[in-house]
Amino acid sequence: MNVVDLGLERTRYAVIDETIESRWRRVTSMQHDTVAVVTPRDQITFADLEVRADALARELDIRGPHGRCPVAVELDPTAEAVVRILATLISGRPLVMIDPQLPPARREHILSTSGAVSIATILEHAAATPFRFGNALESLSSDPAMIAFTSGTSGAPKGVVLSHSMCLNKADELAAAIDLRPDDHIGNLLPVSFGAGITALIMGLMSGVTVYCWDPRVDGSSTLGSWLRRNSITTAHCAPSFLRAWTQQNAAEPGADPQSSLRVVVTYGEAVHGDDYQRHRDRGFADVTYVNWMATTETGVVAYNVFPPAATFPAGIVPAGRARDGKEVRIVDSEGNQLPDGEIGEIHVISSDLADGYHGDPERTAQRFTPLGDGISLYRTGDRGCIDRDGELQLKGRLDDAVKIRGYLVEPTEVDVAVRAVAGVVDAAVIVRTENDHPELCAYVVSDSQRIALSPAEIRRAVSLSLPGWMVPRHIVMLASIPRNERGKIDRNALPTPAPVATSTSTATPTLETITEFRVAIVWSKIIGIESLDRDDDFFALGADSLAAAEMLAALRAAVLVTVSAAQFAGATTIRELAALVDAMLRNKKRDEGRASVLVPLATSGSRTPLFLITGAGAPALSFLATVQAMSGDRPVYALQAHGMESRGLPDRTVAKMADRYIREIRKVRPHGPYVLGGYSHGGFVTLEIANRLHAEGEIVEHVVILDTRLRENMIGPRPDTTEPPAPSESGEPVLNARARTSKTSVLGIWLRYQVAGIMQFDPSMQWYLFYHRGLASLRKYAPSPYRGSVVVIRGDDNRQDAHDWSAIATGQITFEDVAGSHEDILRAPYAVATGEALERALS
């Protein structure tokens, strides 16, 4: 069926004087046997949908409440839910959509505010309800079709009254924008309970085009690609957050064919960035047109921006585009005066096709809607924006988002753009938090799972290259994903509160007291990207990692001519403590007192058996700090790092020699067992060697925990079936310090440095890189002896080696704990928290 057979002219704007029922009857008369809706669970044709919806509508007429009492429908992701939606709409009763994932309090608020009766309750008591003759309703296009509740991100959800005309207008505007075709397969990748989700569904149903519904909260993203291909989806409708998840899933399946039938992707509900579209296009979608749809529940579409296959995406947030026909956009100041292009103010929308206000709330309706006569009204959006030089609407966040930081007005959306522009960042949310009675910026960041996770200090340094100091977030919190509510919007209440830091950054003058504190603060500022620091700021609480710590200690040595070791720094991580340590060393004239130890205390309190952790190849002791901080704190923890890596010394060339040295160091702290041991990556082999030797000496080894060690091919045990074992990493040891590598040093230069590594000291990045390869070299001829005690293996999400693979070198009981994060990421925020918790469980 051609959509124009309905007599519709698909212009960008047309006022529809029609009800949903009258349009539906025209569609079903021509599309009787066509499939109307498909979900991963069921499907239904237009004919069956009409028959079942009519039967249910009759039940509402004879069993339902009197008059136009709203009817609440719980919208689970099935075709049955569509039957109930359509029955309610054609019955003439306003539809109230209930998302099954709503919190109970939110559900109760919607039901009580709308006064709706649940359709499930009506049907459940149908047998006991007498017929209500004369209860059938005739609707006009201006009558309410639904009460759509907003997401509640800026307060309690509001029930927006939408007429039949407006619901059809929304659907027809979308159909016109994407040039909906009779042979299209609409991929509705939004919950139907969302405003954009119900619009995409109505667009398909009222145009005679099949809608394929996929609820990302129920169906996820792992099988989305095959489902899209199998159903030849041509138009996809989703939130930007799900577009990013879809892109990530495509990246995880590089061999999968792209969805070749796909021609349009439309994103809704929140800001989308140009690199969101670009990343998706780069995954095999070069022929797709991308549409940024800017709409509100109260106005319908305000503007949209179309990017054909050859178009270049803008940097940062994609502009909303030009106002659509039938909608006038004004930017006004706080007094209501219209502002010239380029100036930021509140966005007002003027149209004859707006919502009828808020159900049961005339006061709020009067605050937001103003009738202008001749059926035209003005709506105050509460959003800030401007019209740019190209005449396109740019969104700048909510009115109450802008905040003064140290006297400067800051738009969090601008900071969000800068954070997202950092290579390796795939999602972010920047908000304002009050700290010590002053506003501070806090950025929540998700790293690309296909790359090494970024540290907060790295992100802050990158952001400081494009933003002035007062716009650089004080807090950067790494998350595995940004929490979102049932509508897919950022759930600000679920964003974790960052660890409190010192008080002075909100004032003009930092509270630094001594010359040495100022000198330390200058060094820190360059490393972690914060220009204003307090004497009680903690280096690691500000987002620094072990690489930043190594760089800082090297820079501090150059600045104050004092060598502070990692062990000393682990006990003096604030500016005040570190400055006091430096002053003490200068007074005692012990500038080299801080020669690095192999054994570094990371936690010294607690009554339980101490834990000794062996670092991976090329990793410093401080690489364990984030993991240790996530543990319960009821046992001392010591890390052992390679001899010669942090101060001059001859490196141990074999696993056996490393084990001998580490046992000597361990016995200095704990002469006799029981012992608790753990090792990360290459350190796992050293840990097993230590455990075997302690056992041979008659000592008790209480626990052995291996953190994501990868077995080399000669170590993998035989399997009882014909299945090939998981392939070991190409080098036998995963890449540990990829960000520490350098491509500017010649191969010969690296080889020469490798020969003298340990005896000579290089900058931290080079030192780690050289010791990483020394660790690899120690495994080339290493043949581990079987360990007969119990072992717990904590595996990253890309480690598939199992008990059969470990059977040759761990012959006792072996238990596996799986954690999120790649090999290098499991010791870094945010994944280190889960790793620390898994380590704690393993030792319980």
- Which DSSP string do the residues of 290-338 spell out, in sequence order? EEEEEEETTTEEEEEEEE-TTPPPPSSBPP-BEEPTT-EEEEE-TTSPB
Task: Judge whether 10 lies within some domain.
Answer: no
Residue 553: inside a domain: no
Q: Report d(CA 141, CA 138) in Å as an integer.
A: 10
Residues 330 and 183 in one domain: yes
Tell me: do 683 and 821 sit in the same domain.
yes
Shared domain check, 258 and 225:
yes
Asked if residue 717 and residue 794 are part of one domain, the reply reads yes
Query: Do 464 and 472 touch, CB atoms closer than 8 A?
Result: yes
Quote the pLDDT of residue 825: 84
CA atoms of 191 and 395, how far apart (whole Å): 25
If one counts every other C-beta atom within 10 angstroms of the C-beta of residue 532, the result is 21
Domain end marker among 340, 365, 387: 387
The CA distance from 166 to 352, in Å, is 10
SS3 content of the chain, % helix, strand, coil (to 5): 35, 20, 45
Q: Which of the residues in the chain have pLDDT under 70?
A: 1-15, 125-136, 152-155, 251-259, 406-407, 436-437, 486-487, 500-510, 589-596, 717-747
Partners of 821 in beta bridges: none
Q: Which of 339, 360, 387 is where one domain is finished?
A: 387
Q: pLDDT, tens digit, for every residue of 376-423? A: 999 999 999 999 999 999 998 888 777 877 667 788 888 998 999 898
Q: For 234-260, b where at least 16 C-beta lie within 10 A, e where not — what string?
A: bbbbbbbbbbbbbbbbbbeeeeeebbe
- Angle in degrees, 0-180, between the axes of helices 20-30 and 46-63, rounded to the nearest 10: 150
Residue 546 located in a structural domain:
no
Distances (CA, A) of 672 to 610, 614, 662: 12, 18, 14
Q: CA dist 436 to 407, 432, 466, 504, 505, Å?
A: 16, 13, 27, 9, 10
Inside any domain, residue 510: no
Distance (Å, whole) CA 276 – CA 407:
33
Rounded CA-CA distance 679/157 in Å is 51
For residues 316 and 375, membership in a common domain is answered with yes
Question: What's the rounded Cα separation, in Å, for the pair 267 and 179?
Answer: 16
> Is 830 inside a domain boundary?
yes
Whichever domain contains 134, its CATH number is 3.40.50.12780
Task: Tell me the two tokens of residue 509.
Answer: 């003058």
> For position 496, which CATH number holds?
3.30.300.30
Q: Are residues 819 and 670 part of one domain? A: yes
Q: Which domain holds residue 422?
A: 401-500
Q: Are residues 289 and 414 in the same domain?
A: no
Instruction: Give the whole-angstrom CA distance, residue 822 versus residue 251.
Output: 15
Going by the DSSP 8-state scheme, the letter that residue 674 receives in this structure is -
> For residue 541, is it within any domain?
no
How many Cβ atoms sit within 10 Å of the Cβ of residue 372? 11
The predicted pLDDT at position 718 comes to: 66
CATH label of the domain that carries residue 651: 3.40.50.1820
* Inside any domain, residue 259: yes
Dist. CA 734–CA 728, nearest whole Å: 9
Q: What is the Cα–Cα distance from 553 to 596, expressed in whole angstroms?
A: 11
Residue type, 186: I
Q: 381, 299 in Cβ contact below 8 A?
A: yes
Q: Which tokens go with 292?
A: 């940024």
CA–CA separation, 263 and 166 (whole Å): 27
Q: How far apart are CA 82 and CA 205, in angstroms?
A: 10
Hey, what are 241's tokens? 């957050």
Distance CA 637, CA 609 (A): 9
The values of phi and psi at residue 365, to 5°, are: -60, -45
Number of domains in the chain: 3
Please give the Cα distance from 528 to 542 (Å, whole number): 8
- Residue 441 and residue 356 share a domain: no
Residues 321 and 210 in one domain: yes
Q: How far apart are CA 205 and CA 572, in angstroms?
A: 66
Question: Diameter of the chain by CA atoms?
Answer: 100
- For the chain, give me the number of helices (H) and strands (E)? 25, 31
| Amino acid at site 160 | V
- Could you tell me which of 844, 834, 827, 839 has the C-alpha nearest to residue 737? 827
Instruction: Report the alpha-carbon distance of residue 418 to residue 293 in Å, rounded.
Output: 22
209 and 347 fall within a common domain: yes
Cβ atoms within 10 Å of 842's Cβ, excluding its own: 21
How far are the Cα atoms of 575, 580, 583, 591 from residue 586, in angstroms, in the given order? 16, 10, 5, 6
Q: Is residue 427 part of a domain?
A: yes
On whether both 337 and 422 belong to a single domain, the answer is: no
Which of these three, 434, 466, 500, is where a domain ends?
500
Looking at the structure, tell me whether residues 211 and 308 fall in a common domain: yes
- Cα within 13 Å of Cα(28), Cβ side: 18
Structure tokens at 161: 């009254």
